[in-house]
Amino acid sequence: MTGVNGDGIGKETAEFLAHHKPGQGLVAAAVLSVVSAIVFGVATWELIKGDLSTLWAELAAAIALVTFGVGIYGLLRMILAIIETAGERRRQAREVTERRKGDRARQPPPA
């Protein structure tokens, strides 16, 4: 399978891979998830204690709700970064297999 530029992948994909390493967003997503979990925990704890005024309780509830959503977003980004890393490894292994010559080369399927 050849792409637009004949190297097996499309031009846009090659340009993207040139400056984007697989799993690059994994650390950022992990930091986002951990920070939002900490903020969510603190806001929830303050709500449970129950010594906040109505305004501060509403603010803490809103912060807890928003950080819960941000935490879920961070977890989803982590999952997608892991999938991207695994896909890149498979692509690299396939390229190595396709470059093999002679007896070790991939044989076409029988007709």
Residue 55, in any domain of the structure:
yes
Whether 14 is covered by a domain: the verdict is no
Q: What's the confidence (pLDDT) of residue 76?
A: 94
Task: Name the residue range of residue 72's domain.
Answer: 24-99
Whether 39 is in a domain gets the answer yes
Predicted model pTM: 0.61
Helix axes 54-99, 25-49, angle to 10 degrees: 160
In a domain, 69, yes or no: yes
Quote the pLDDT of residue 83.
86
Flag whether 13 is in a domain: no
Q: How many domains does the chain have?
A: 1
Whether the Cβ atoms of residue 43 and residue 69 lie closer than 8 Å to each other: no
Question: Consecutive 10-residue runs of the chain (111 residues): their mean pLDDT?
Answer: 51 60 76 95 93 93 96 93 77 66 69 69
Look at residue 31 and give its three-state secondary structure: helix
pLDDT value at residue 9: 55
